[in-house]
Structure 1
Amino acid sequence: MKEFKTLFFFLRLPISISLVGHGLVRIPKLQTFTEGMVKSMEKSAIPEVLITPFGYILPFLEAIVGIALLIGFKPKLTIYAAISLMTILIFGSSSVENWTAIEAQLLHCLYLFVLLWFYVKNSREENQPLV
C-alpha cells in the first residue's frame, strides 16, 4: 500500500503543479487575465455575460483543483472535477477554433484519465463505485 501511495503521489504531481501554476500565476493579474479571455472569445457564440464571470472564477478553480489533487483530497472526485474543468475549456477553445489550446487541454484530459485509471486499478477502493 505504501508503494501505491508513493507512486500515485508522483504520478499526480506534474498535473497538480500544472493546474496550481495555471491558477496562481493568473490570480494576481485577475482583471487583466479576464479581459484577455473576453477579448480572445469575441468571435465565440458564448455570450460575454458568461465569459466574464468564468474568467474571474477559472484561476481559483484551477488552483483549488490542483491543490486538492496535490494533497490527495478525494482523488476520484478531484480528478472528475479536473476533467470537467478541462472539458469546459475545450468547449470554449473550440468555439473560437483555438486548436493549439485544445491539444494542450486534451493532453491534460488524457493524463487525468490515466491517473484515474491507475487510482481505480490500484487503490483499496477498487470495488467501490467511481463516484
Structure 2
Amino acid sequence: MNMNWAYLLGRLAIGLSFFGHGLVRLPKLAGFSNWMTGQFSKSFLPEALVLPFSYILPFAEFIAGIMIILGLFTRLGLIFAGFISLTLIFGTTAIENWDALPSQLIHIAFLAALLGLLPHNRFAVDHIIKKQQH
C-alpha cells in the first residue's frame, strides 16, 4: 500500500508542474509566444515552426497536467508529457540554454519512473474506471 501512496505523490508532483506551467502561460499567451520566438530568433529553427509551437505548448502542458493529476488516461498523459519534455529538451539544446536542461531532464526521469511503476497507480480515475468495468 505504501507504494501506491508514493506513486500518487510523484504523479501529483509532476502533474502539478505541467499544469502550473500551462496555467500561468495561458492568460498571457501572446506575450509568452513573443518571448519564445525571441529566444529562438538566432537558432536554426525557423519561426514558422517556433511560432505555432509557442501557442500550442501552454495548452499541451495544461492538458497533460490535468490528465496526470486526475490519473485519467495516466499512461497516455505521461507519454504526452514525455513528448512535450523531449521537444523542450531539443529546443533548449538548439539555443544552448544549458541552465534549463537539468530541470527538463528531471521531468523526463519522473515521467519514466511513473511509467515504469504504473501498476501502483491505485489512487486515480483510471483505477475507478477499471474497477467499474469488472
TM-score (norm 1): 0.86
Q: CA deviation at 1:123?
A: 6.0
Runs of 4+ in 1 over 6 A off after TM superposition: none
Judged with a 3 Å threshold, the aligned counterparts in structure 2 of structure 1 residues 26 and 51 are, in CA distance, closer, same or farther, namely same
Q: Aligned residue for 1:12?
A: 11
Question: How far apart, in 2, do the equivalents of 1:7 and 1:119 lie?
Answer: 12
Q: CA deviation at 1:28?
A: 0.5
Number of residue pairs aligned between Structure 1 and Structure 2: 122
- In structure 2, list runs of 5 or more residues that go unmatched: 123-134
What value does the CA root-mean-square deviation take over the aligned residues?
1.7
Q: Given that residues 10 and 110 in structure 2 are in contact (C-alpha distance below 8 angstroms), is that contact kept between their aligned partners in structure 1?
A: no
AA aligned to 2:107 is H
Question: How far apart, in 1, do the equivalents of 2:27 and 2:93 lie?
Answer: 27
TM-score (norm 2): 0.84
Q: Aligned residue for 1:111?
A: 110
Aligned ranges for residues 92-111 of structure 1 at < 5 Å?
A: 92-111=91-110
Matched, 1:39 2:41: no
Q: CA deviation at 1:102?
A: 1.4
Q: Aligned residue for 2:49?
A: 50
Question: How far apart, in 2, do the equivalents of 1:34 and 1:84 lie?
Answer: 20
AA aligned to 2:42 is K
SS in structure 1 of the partner of residue 93 of structure 2: helix
**Partner deviation per Cα, 1:67-111 (whole Å, 9 max, x = no partner):** 000111111111111111100001111101011111111110011
AA aligned to 1:65 is A
Question: How far apart, in 2, do the equivalents of 1:11 and 1:21 lie?
Answer: 15
